[in-house]
Each structure stands twice: as structure tokens, then as C-alpha cells.
Amino acid sequence: MGKIKFGTDGWRAVMCEDFTFGNVEIVVQGICNYLIDAGKADMGLVIGYDTRFFSDRFARRSANVCNANGIKVFLTANDVPTPVVAFSILDKETAGALMFTASHNPSEYNGIKFIPEDAAPALPEVTSDIEAHVKNIIETGDIKKLTDKEMKEKGMTEVFNPTAPYMNQVKKILDLTAINNAKLKVVYDPLYATGRNYVPLLLKDITEFKMIHGKSDPYFGGIMPEPKGELLTDLIDEVTKTGAHLGLANDGDADRFGIVDSDGTFINPNQVLVLVYMHLLKNRGLKGDIARTVATTHLLDRIAEHYGFKAIETPVGFKYIGHELEKEGVILGGEESGGLSMEGHIPEKDGILALALITEIRAIEGKPLLTLLQEIYDQFGAVYTKRVDIHCTDEHKKEFFETIKSNPPSEIAGMKVEHYSDMDGMKLYLEDGSWILFRPSGTEPLVRIYFEALSDESLELMAKEAARYFMEE
């Protein structure tokens, strides 16, 4: 058995290898022990699952373990998105939720995510506590279980449909009248996953709506269920072929988003965050800061400053963004990997909300997204972003970060390094306002390098020089 360790968004592993019923029972018992120690077991838990192989059966088995520990369970009747499960915590007032999903990972993976009672992703102190309980259970083998008959007799698992409360919540946030009046043509790709039962409920009656890949498929059509440009070729083709105004997509558990403009151009998450923040400030008249991760565009900072607000920088991981969203004065939080949420909603990333907000923006502005972005660039200056993943040995990775933190470079790509931050990896702030972030993967032998530059040419030079710098150190 591999080590059970919670990453940035729960524990994920390959099914039949490490993600087995036995190991799931260990993890769930650890979560039960955590809740019992915290005095929250009597509040109950929501349990949900996505469309992956055996996710429904893993969910049912986890309900068994919870019931054996005296914990009431609200089990979703069907596969559901992660943001719906997170909202159900608040709706049911439980101690949190278990969500069976591996999000955008390949189909052979599954995972379990614990979401605490505030509906925000669990912070490291919570997952570390759970890991300690898990380690103790591995050593002792002390897992409580019921037979199916005992579970039925106990009557502590209530099967429920979370759709209506969640949909009512999202609809309250949106300008549905503006979307309806715009008569938009929209194509949606749930990537064979659980968003297929939710996004249509929002948009099919107020847009000319078409869904592709709308059946459940645990193989996700043979690709990763990640809504990035190179994996959305069918959506891009459908948008351009039908003359749609927008192409929309979600990942495997619908907490991330993918956006395609009317000409088939993929709008990356950094650009989506810029469009949404500008919309909230300019069109909605909201007033407040934005929370972004250390790897996310600084164009948000310029917009915030122009309107008299600030950008709050966090480590990578929506758990940190969610923590900021719970504070007064933050109206939007997001990350370059495709997650966002806003004030008045759950402090967990919600890809369904993101798609709806982009549809609202397109409806109110009446212009293609690229046109709106160019207007923002004309006012605040353009930025160009990129990420490069470099595989390396763990030894090289360790030595590199020891070196760069003790002796950071004074210049790179011909530009002076004005200052740096080691909040999460090592981020170099260059004299012209561009930046480079070296960030080690916590789960793979690789380093991710993020770049933001003021021109395409500068971006490519920075990428070349930073990669060379990494390999030489």
C-alpha cells in the first residue's frame, strides 16, 4: 500500500492499486475519528460522488463506516459536482462532506476529498490531523463497519437530491433576465461528467443551448476530463461550425471551467478571472478586493489598484483562496488552474458558477470575449502568461531550491530581479513588472515554472532563460 497523503485537494490514487475499498475505509475511519475528537460527529456528514468507476460504491461504503461510528450521513442520490456537495454542507448544516472524485485526473484515478463545515477546502492543519488519525488506523487496524442489514436497521443514512437548493442559490447570484434577453447561442461540453445534469438547468431555457458529450462515461471519452484548450477540440469545432457566441466546459467534478470564444479561441483561466473581476467592479458595481494565488496574473492587481482595492496573494491551492473569501471585503477569488468563486457563494471553487458568470458578461457587454480583453489591455496593459513543467530528479529539485533561496539571481533574461518571495516556491519579480515563479511539485519529480511578461517576445525569452537557469543550478 502506498502512503496515504492528502495533497492540495484531497487524497488521490490509482484504482485497484492504492485506491481500494480497504484503503477508503481507513481514510474514512480517520475522518470519523477526527470529527469525534473535534466534537462534531453529531452534526453528520454529506457524502457525494462523481461519475468515475465505483465512485457510488465507494460513497456507499464510506456511509457504512460513518454510520458504524454513530455519524448520520446525507448521501446524494446521483453523481454530483463538488461545488454542489460543498453547498449542501451549508444547506444541511453538517460537520462537512466527503466527495469521491479525482477531479481532472485520468480515468484510472479516484480520490476522496474532505470539505469542512464552512464549505471551504480543508486547510493543511485539518488534513495533517486526519493523516495522523489515518496513520494510527493503519497501525491498529481499528475500523468500524456494519453489515448491510445493520446499516439499514440503523437508518442513519438519508439519500437526498441536492439539485434544487444549489440551483436556487446560483440563480440568485445571476442576472438571468440579461442572459435571456441577449439570445445567446451556447455550446456546452461536460466532458462526459457530472456537470451534464447542472449547467443545462441553468442555461437551456434562457439561451440557444447545445450540449455535446452529455452522457456519463467513466473513461471520459478516452481523454483527461480537464477543460484546457488542447483537450477541447470538439467544443472548439462545434462553436465555430454553429456560429455560437460561447463554448463552455467543466472538468470531471465541475469545480473547474473552460471557456471558448466565438471564433474558437480558448480563453485561459487568467483571462477569465480578469473578465469576471472587471465585470463585478464595472457592471455589477461591487466594491472589494480579489484573492489570487502566487501563480495567477498580476493584471488583477492593476485593476484592483485602479478601483481603489488590492489583490491578496496566497500560496497555490484553493483552500487558501477560500479562507480569504470568508473574510469581509473580498469579492472574488481565483487561480490560474481554473478555479473561482465569489462573495455570497461558497468558499469553494465552482466551475458551474464560472460558466454562468461568463455567459452573463457576454450577454451584458454584447461583445466577443477577446474584444473585451483587448479593451482591458488597452486600459491596463497586456500580459502574456505561460507554464512550463520540467521533469527532474528529487535530488536536483531539492538542491535547486536550497541554492536559489540562499543565493537568488540578481538578473534573469536580461532584466534585474527587484525582489523575490518564497511564499510558495521561489517567485522573482523583474524590473518591468514581469515575474517568474519556480514551484516544486509535491507529488511528482518535476518543477513547474510560471511566467508573466509584457510581450510575447519577452515571454519566450524568459521561458528559455529560466529553464536554462534551472538546469544549470
pLDDT computed for residue 278 by the predictor: 98
Distance, CA of 328 to CA of 348 (rounded, Å): 16
The residues, ordered by sequence, that sit 6+ positions from 127 with a Cβ below 8 Å of its Cβ are 6, 114
What does the domain layout of the chain look like in residue ranges?
11-161, 166-380, 384-472
Amino acid symbol at 112: I
Q: What is the mean pLDDT of residues 264-291?
A: 98
**Superfamily name and number for 384-472:** Alpha-D-phosphohexomutase, C-terminal domain (3.30.310.50)
Burial of 366 (0-12, 13-18, 19+ CB in 10 A): exposed
- Using one digit for the tens of pLDDT, what is the confidence trace for 130-165? 999 999 999 999 999 999 899 999 999 999 999 999
- Using one digit for the tens of pLDDT, what is the confidence trace for 289-348? 999 999 999 999 999 999 999 999 999 999 999 999 999 999 999 999 999 999 999 999
Burial of 167 (0-12, 13-18, 19+ CB in 10 A): middle
Confirm or reject CATH 3.40.120.10 for domain 166-380, answering yes or no. yes
Q: Matching CATH topology for 11-161 and 166-380?
A: yes
Quick one: angle between helices 351-365 and 269-282, nearest 10? 60
DSSP E strands, 315-434: 330-335, 339-342, 384-391, 411-412, 415-421, 426-430
Identify the band that residue 8 occupies on the pLDDT scale cut at 50, 70 and 90.
low
Q: In this structure, are residues 339 and 272 in contact, taking their beta carbons and an 8 Å threshold?
A: no
The set of cell numbers assigned to 127 is 488534513
* Model confidence at 1: pLDDT above 70: no
Q: What percent of the chain has pLDDT over 90?
A: 95
Rounded to two decimals, what is the model's pTM?
0.95
Identify the band that residue 2 occupies on the pLDDT scale cut at 50, 70 and 90.
low
Q: What is the mean pLDDT of residues 373-378?
A: 98
pLDDT computed for residue 472 by the predictor: 82
Reference 84, options 170, 209, 187; nearest CA is 170
pLDDT computed for residue 6 by the predictor: 74
Distance, CA of 447 to CA of 394 (rounded, Å): 10
Q: In this structure, are residues 96 and 180 in contact, taking their beta carbons and an 8 Å threshold?
A: no
Q: In a 3-state reduction of DSSP, which class is residue 115?
A: strand
Confirm or reject CATH 3.40.47.10 for domain 11-161, answering yes or no. no
The enclosing H or E element of 49 equals strand 45-49
Burial 12-36, CB ≥16 within 10 A → b, else e = bbebeebbbeebbbbbbbbbbbbbe
Helices then strands (H, E): number in the chain?
16, 21
* Half-sphere exposure for 274 (CA within 13 Å, toward CB): 29
Alpha-carbon distances of 321 from 118, 325, 358, rounded to whole Å:
13, 6, 20
Distance, CA of 339 to CA of 318 (rounded, Å): 7
Reference 247, options 256, 234, 460; nearest CA is 234
